[in-house]
């Protein structure tokens, strides 16, 4: 009888132990397994499997598993763009996962302190690396232009520190804080200087490591990317040389203004202004094809020659447009005009009438 009870108890303990071992193996969250998998990551930063790194890996794999699936799904759109620029600047491929930490791979997100876009540029830093930010456009939210700016900045930081962990830390909190931490610790090892860095930066590198881990091993943990609709997944960039609006793009393609805005958050007020080298919009491929075909059919711009006694207001009324549009079309900073001045105008969606006697087509 006692033997039977002991046998049943032994079987219960063994089954409980085996169950827990199985759960641990299934999630891959034992310290041994984390260490083994991290060892095979082969990423740009030197990895220290400390408590913070393990915590961040468990956070992405278990606690925020669904968020990781959404982030990986967005990555299907934006990682290929980033990979192209990484190759162009000869930078490590794993740096694409930095946007998972920076913005959760969102183009239209702003931080509390005003950093914006995929790469979370502050306005001053964005402008320093060639991004335009004005009343019409914020190129920090352009995935192409902001990515190229980020590559330039990251390459510059790596050249300065010759260490990717330090370069990424400097990207997060600024070189001056990293330099002070190096001086205080008398070391150039990120893990030794981290205690002298801001709290956010101390977690920044572990989070980057953790998402590299997710990127490589997500299938092992049954983390399934939440991909967008197929048509949204296959995007195309279209060059826009002339002034246009989201409304016109929507009319040409049949997609909603909200969707155009979601894909092109860099344009603040729903219009694409004239730029010297043109601008770019991102559309689902099928809609991009429809847009380009429609643009080819569109009537070309025309030249309007200012007559004696005319003002910009009267010209705008005659041509069924706004003063602001004329200023933008002609890159004018003021509304001062002179007789015989040539203005570039575009047909409005209202039919051009025969009262426009002074217009000359080329």
Which sequence positions are flagged as catalytic? Answer: 102
Cα distances (Å, whole numbers) of residue 85 to 88, 90, 93, 149, 331: 5, 8, 10, 10, 31
What span, in angstroms and rounded, lies between the C-alpha atoms of 101 and 92? 16
What span, in angstroms and rounded, lies between the C-alpha atoms of 5 and 202? 53
CB 220 within 8 A of CB 62: no
Beta bridge pairs of residue 240: 279
What span, in angstroms and rounded, lies between the C-alpha atoms of 226 and 105? 13
By DSSP bridging, strand 279-284 and strand 244-245 are: unpaired
What span, in angstroms and rounded, lies between the C-alpha atoms of 355 and 353? 5
What span, in angstroms and rounded, lies between the C-alpha atoms of 237 and 285? 8
Closest CA to 218 of 50, 343, 67: 67
């Amino acid at each position: 009888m006692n033997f039977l009870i002991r046998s049943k108890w032994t079987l219960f303990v063994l089954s409980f132990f085996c169950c827990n071992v199985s759960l641990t193996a299934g999630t891959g969250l034992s310290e041994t397994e984390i260490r083994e998998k991290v060892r095979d990551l082969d990423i740009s930063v030197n990895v220290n499997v400390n408590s913070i790194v393990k915590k961040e890996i468990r956070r992405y794999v278990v606690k925020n598993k669904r968020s990781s699936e959404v982030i990986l799904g967005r990555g299907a759109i934006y990682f290929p763009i980033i990979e192209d620029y990484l190759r162009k600047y000869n930078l490590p491929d794993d740096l694409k996962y930095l946007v998972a930490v920076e913005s959760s791979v969102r183009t239209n997100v702003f931080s509390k302190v005003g950093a914006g876009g995929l790469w979370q540029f502050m306005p001053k830093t964005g402008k320093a690396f060639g991004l335009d930010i004005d009343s019409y456009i914020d190129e920090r939210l352009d995935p192409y232009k902001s990515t190229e700016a980020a590559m330039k900045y990251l390459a510059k930081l790596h050249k300065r520190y010759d260490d990717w962990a330090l370069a990424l830390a400097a990207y997060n909190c600024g070189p001056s804080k990293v330099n002070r931490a190096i001086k205080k610790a008398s070391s150039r090892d990120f893990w030794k200087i981290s205690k002298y860095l801001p709290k956010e930066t101390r977690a920044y590198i572990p989070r980057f490591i953790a998402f590299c881990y997710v990127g490589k091993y997500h299938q092992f943990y049954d983390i399934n990317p939440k991909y967008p609709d197929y048509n949204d997944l296959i995007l195309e960039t279209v060059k826009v040389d002339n002034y246009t609006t989201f409304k016109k793009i929507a009319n040409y393609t049949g997609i909603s203004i909200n969707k155009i805005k979601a894909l092109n958050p860099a344009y603040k007020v729903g219009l694409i202004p004239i730029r010297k080298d043109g601008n770019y919009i991102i559309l689902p491929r099928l809609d991009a094809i429809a847009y380009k075909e429609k643009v080819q059919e569109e009537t070309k711009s025309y030249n309007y020659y200012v007559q004696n006694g005319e003002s910009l207001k009267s010209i705008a009324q005659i041509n069924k447009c706004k003063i602001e549009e004329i200023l933008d079309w002609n890159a004018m900073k003021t509304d001062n005009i002179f007789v015989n001045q040539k203005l570039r105008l575009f047909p409005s969606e209202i039919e051009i009438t025969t009262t426009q006697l002074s217009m000359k087509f080329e």
